[in-house]
């Protein structure tokens, strides 16, 4: 079997590392290759992927994992459509709205390919391809045994594309929202001079969350991955709007995640030190 990757960021690299074994070969394409992208090229070489200089090279793969930024999930697939082989499988792991996945499924199927909606339900490290995933779409039942044989921890969410990502998008509203409310509360506490009192109060009211380790983890996730999480929350907002609910809440969460991610560093030092550094950056006047 030959496996392709459309986009070669953290998720694709983790899948590749987990799946590497005799009998499987890999080919990868990333749009950044066209503009230099030496770090991407080095990452592909280090993991033994054949580098495809153009997207058409992915037509050689039996399965293609699409792992791009959320806002590009459909746009990135469109140049590949004329090159898809009949029966070739596109596995869309992007964290996007059900509507986006249905649109992508329609385009892939019209081009003769098979489309699988795969929702990754936890961070890809440390379990890599064994991270729990949900599947949906026409080929889900047929592909499930093959995925399980490769070591995937997979379950079927439904027969139609969009069913798996719907679960991810609704769950993300809570998970990323909890991150946002935690970091904003700690930043407000620090800014108002009541940091110790707030941390002590929250620790007493919610002992099951294991403060302050819980807060440290929330700070690390948002400062390190906030921009990617913001893109996911915009897709969650689209999901809620399509349901007739209030996507504005998800958009506000996206704004918090974006601002945290723009700080430019991950967790370092103690919790209070990190909160102080983030607060200083967040309150600094923006140029322009």
Q: What is the 3-state secondary structure (H, E, C) of 225-261?
A: HHHHHHHHHHHHHHHHHHCCCCCHHHHHHHHHHHHHH
pLDDT of residue 268: 61
pLDDT of residue 284: 80
Domain with CATH 1.10.1040.10 in the chain: 165-283
Calpha distance 123→79 (Å, rounded): 29
Query: 165-283: which CATH topology?
Result: 1.10.1040
Task: Assess contact for 136 and 112: CB atoms under 8 A.
Answer: no
pLDDT of residue 72: 95
**CATH code 3.40.50.720 for 2-160:** yes
Calpha distance 262→10 (Å, rounded): 18
* Residue appearing with tokens 């990333």: 30
Task: Assess contact for 4 and 64: CB atoms under 8 A.
Answer: yes
Domain with CATH 3.40.50.720 in the chain: 2-160
Residue 265 Cα distances to 59, 225, 271, angstroms: 38, 10, 14
pLDDT of residue 168: 98
pLDDT of residue 267: 56
Q: What is the DSSP string of the chain?
A: -EEEEES-SHHHHHHHHHH--TT-EEEEE-GGGGG--HHHHHHHHHTTPEEPSSGGGGGG-SEEEE---GGGTTTTTGGGGGGPPTTPEEEE-----HHHHHHHHHHHHHTT-EEEEEEE-S-STTTGGGSEEEEESTTHHHHHHHHHHTT-EEEEEESSTTHHHHHHHHHHHHHHHHHHHHHHHHHHHHHTT-HHHHHHHHHHH-GGG-TTHHHHHHHHHHHHHHHHHHHHHHHHHHHHHHTTS-THHHHHHHHHHHHHHTT-----S-HHHHHHHHHHHHHSPPP-
pLDDT of residue 214: 97
What angle is formed at CA 96 by the lines to CA 136 and CA 119, rounded to 5 degrees? 40
Tokens encoding 231:
């893109």
Of the candidates 250, 279, 260, the one whose C-alpha atom is nearest the C-alpha of residue 221 is 260
Average pLDDT, the chain: 95
Residue spans of the chain under pLDDT 70: 266-268, 286-288
pLDDT of residue 37: 86
pLDDT of residue 283: 86
pTM of the model: 0.93
């Amino acid at each position: 079997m030959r496996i392709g990757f459309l986009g070669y960021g953290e998720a694709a690299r983790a899948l590749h590392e987990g799946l590497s074994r005799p009998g499987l070969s890999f080919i990868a394409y990333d749009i950044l290759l066209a503009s230099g992208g030496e770090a991407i090229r080095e990452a592909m070489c280090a993991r033994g992927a054949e580098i495809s200089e153009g997207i058409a090279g992915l037509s050689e793969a039996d399965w293609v994992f699409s792992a791009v930024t959320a806002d590009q999930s459909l746009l990135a697939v469109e140049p590949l459509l004329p090159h898809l082989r009949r029966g070739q499988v596109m596995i869309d792991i992007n964290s996007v709205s059900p509507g986006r996945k249905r649109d992508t499924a329609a385009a892939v199927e019209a081009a003769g390919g098979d489309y699988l909606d795969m929702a990754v339900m936890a961070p890809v490290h440390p379990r890599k391809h064994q991270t729990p995933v949900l599947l949906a779409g026409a080929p889900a039942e047929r592909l499930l045994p093959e995925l399980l044989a490769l070591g995937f921890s997979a379950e079927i969410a439904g027969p139609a594309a969009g069913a798996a990502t719907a679960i991810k998008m609704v769950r993300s509203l809570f998970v990323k929202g909890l991150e946002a409310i935690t970091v904003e509360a700690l930043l407000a506490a620090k800014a108002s001079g009541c940091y110790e009192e707030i941390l002590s109060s929250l620790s007493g009211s919610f002992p099951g969350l294991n403060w302050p380790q819980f807060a440290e983890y929330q700070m690390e996730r948002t400062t390190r991955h906030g921009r990617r999480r913001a893109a996911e929350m915009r897709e969650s907002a689209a999901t809620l709007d399509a349901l007739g609910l209030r996507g504005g809440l998800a958009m506000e969460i996206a704004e918090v995640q974006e601002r945290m991610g723009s700080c430019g560093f991950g967790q370092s030092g103690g919790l209070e030190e990190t909160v102080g550094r983030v607060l200083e950056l967040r309150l600094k006047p923006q140029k322009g």
